[in-house]
Amino acid sequence: MRSTNTARLSHYKSSLLRVQVGFTLISTMVSFALASVALFGGWVAYRDIQMQWRVANAERQMDQYAHNAMAELVNVLSWSYGAEQIGSGRNMRWQISLMDQVLEHAGQHGSGLLSYRYRTDMYYLLRGINGGLVNLTYDRDRGILFDRVPPEWAEARRGNQRQYVWRGSVIRNPRTNLAAFDRRDRMTVVGLELDRSLVNDPWRDPEKPWDAHAVIGITITMQYKYDATHGVSLFTDEYVRERTYSTKVFCRNYDVPKNLFKEDLQASYSG
Amino acid sequence: MEKKCRLLQRGAADLVAVAVGMTLLAITAVGTSYSLLYGRQALIQQEHYKVASYMLRGELEREVARFQVFGKYRDRFDSYLDFGELNINLDSPNDRDGDVNMTRGRINRDPVVKIDRQETGEGTDYYRIVMRAEWTESVYPGALDSRSRNKSGTTHEILLATTFLVQSEL
C-alpha cells in the first residue's frame, strides 16, 4: 500500500501537477477562512439589502400617508366655516366648525368627496343649527385623529383586526403601536401645525381682526426611522427619512351671510 | 501528454464557468443596486411634485381669500399687481439623516385679472388668478457615472388657475 502511494506521488512530482492527497491542517484552515468570509459577506449583503428594501418601502408608505392626510385635512377645512386652536402643547386641539351634521352614506364606508364621515357635536343646536364642531388632534403613532379616531383610510380591516395602512403585520395594541414591520422601524407623525396665515397680512382690515381666521395654514411632518445600530459596525446606522408637507386652506364657508363661528369670533374680539 | 491536455481543458472549462457565473452575479448585483438608487431618486422627485403642488395651491387659496375677504385688496387693485416671488423648499432638512441635496423652487403669480363682460352690464363679473411653481432638480436620477453626474437635473413647472366671485359685489 505504502509503496503504491509513493509510486503515485513520484509520478505526479515528475509531471509538474500536484494533487493534494487528503486534507492538511493548512488546507483546512484556508478553506474554513474562505467559507467564513463568503458566509459573512453573504449575511452582510442580505442584511443590507433587506434594510434598504424596508427603508425604501416604508418611505413610499410614509409618502402615501402624508399625501392622504393632506388631502383629508384640505377637504375637511375647505368645507368648514372656520377653525380655532384650543389649548396648547400636548393638550392642543383644533376645533373645526362644520355646522351641519353631515353623514352621507349613513356614515358607512364611502368613496370620493361625498363620503364625509365625521360626526359633529351639537354645539350650535341652541341657536337653531343641527350640528357643530369636530375636534382635530394628532398622535405620534396613530397620525391625525378626528374626534380621537384615525380616519378610515388610515386603517384597514382584516377580519376583525384593525391595521394601519403602513403596517405589514397585525397590530397587537391598535392604540399605541405603529411600527411598520418589526420593532426596529418606526413611523411617526412628528408634527402637525395649524396657523392663521392672514394674521400678519399688510392689508388686513384692522377693524375686523376676526377675518384673519379665514385662511388656515397646515404643516404636517412625518418621520421614519430604521434602527440598525446593532450589528457589524461598518453597516450600522439609524436611517432617518422625513417628509414635510404644507399648504393653506381657505375655509369656503367663512364668508357666508350666517356664519355662527364668525359671530362667536366677533363676540370674543369685542369682549 | 493527452492526460495533461485533458486536465488543462477541464481547468479552463472550470475557469470559464466561474467567470460566466460571476459576470451574471455582478450584472444582477449592479442592476439591483442601480435600480434601487434610481428608484429612490425618482421617488424623491415625485415627492417634490406633491410638495410643490400643495404649496402652490395653498398660496393660490390665500390670494383668493385676500380678494374675497379683505376689501382693501379690491380697492387698491392696481397697486396689487406685483406678487413678487416666493421661495420654497421642497426637501425636509432632517431627511436622509440631514445629508440631503436641498431642492429649492419659486412660486410666481401673474397679475390678477378683473373680468368684465359686456353683456352683463357694468362692474366686475369675476376675478382670475394664475400662479406657477417652478423648480430645477439638483440631482439627475441615476447619475452614477462621472459623465452624467455633472448633468443638471430637469426643470419642472406646475400651473394653477382659478376664477372666483366676490359675494359683496353680487
* Residue A220: all three cell numbers together: 404636517
**What is the percentage of chain A residues whose pLDDT exceeds 90?**
17
Confidence category of residue A127, pLDDT binned at 50, 70, 90: confident
pLDDT, one tens digit per residue, over A58-86 is: 888 888 888 889 998 998 898 889 998 88
Q: Indicate yes or no: CB of A240 within 8 angstroms of CB of B72.
A: no
pLDDT, one tens digit per residue, over A176-197 is: 444 444 556 677 888 888 888 8
- The helix (run of H) or strand (run of E) holding residue B49 is helix B2-69
> How deeply is A165 buried, as exposed, middle or buried, from its count of CB atoms within 10 A (0-12, 13-18, 19+)?
middle
Task: State the number of CA atoms in the 13 A half-sphere of B17 facing the CB.
Answer: 6
- Cβ contacts (< 8 Å) between A237 and chain B: which residues? 97
Give the pLDDT of residue A168. 39
pTM, two decimals, is 0.79
Distance from C-alpha of B15 to C-alpha of B27, rounded to nearest angstrom: 18
Alpha-carbon Rg for chain A, nearest whole angstrom, is 32
Q: Indicate yes or no: CB of B61 within 8 angstroms of CB of A248.
A: yes
The predicted model gives A7-30 an average pLDDT of 69
Instruction: Give B115→chain A minimum CA distance, Å.
Output: 21
* Residue A140: all three cell numbers together: 405620534
Instruction: Give B19→chain A minimum CA distance, Å.
Output: 17
Map out the domains of chain A as residue ranges. 27-270
Report which of A157, A177, A82, A166 is spatially closest to residue A124, judged by C-alpha positions: A82
Q: Indicate yes or no: CB of A246 within 8 angstroms of CB of B4.
A: no
- Cβ contacts (< 8 Å) between B43 and chain A: which residues? 56, 59-60, 63
Q: Indicate yes or no: CB of A250 within 8 angstroms of CB of B64.
A: yes
Pair A133, A96: CB distance under 8 Å: yes
Strand order in the sheet with A93-97: A82-86, A93-97, A133-139, A143-146
Give the pLDDT of residue B100. 81
The predicted model gives B71-75 an average pLDDT of 85
B170 in contact with A, Cβ within 8 Å: no
Instruction: Give A158→chain B minimum CA distance, Å.
Output: 29
Assembly ipTM: 0.81
Pair A209, A234: CB distance under 8 Å: no
CB neighbours of A179 closer than 8 A, spacing ≥ 6? A167, A185, A186, A187
Give the pLDDT of residue A74. 92
Flag whether pLDDT at A227 surpasses 80. no
Give the pLDDT of residue A163. 57
Confidence category of residue A11, pLDDT binned at 50, 70, 90: low
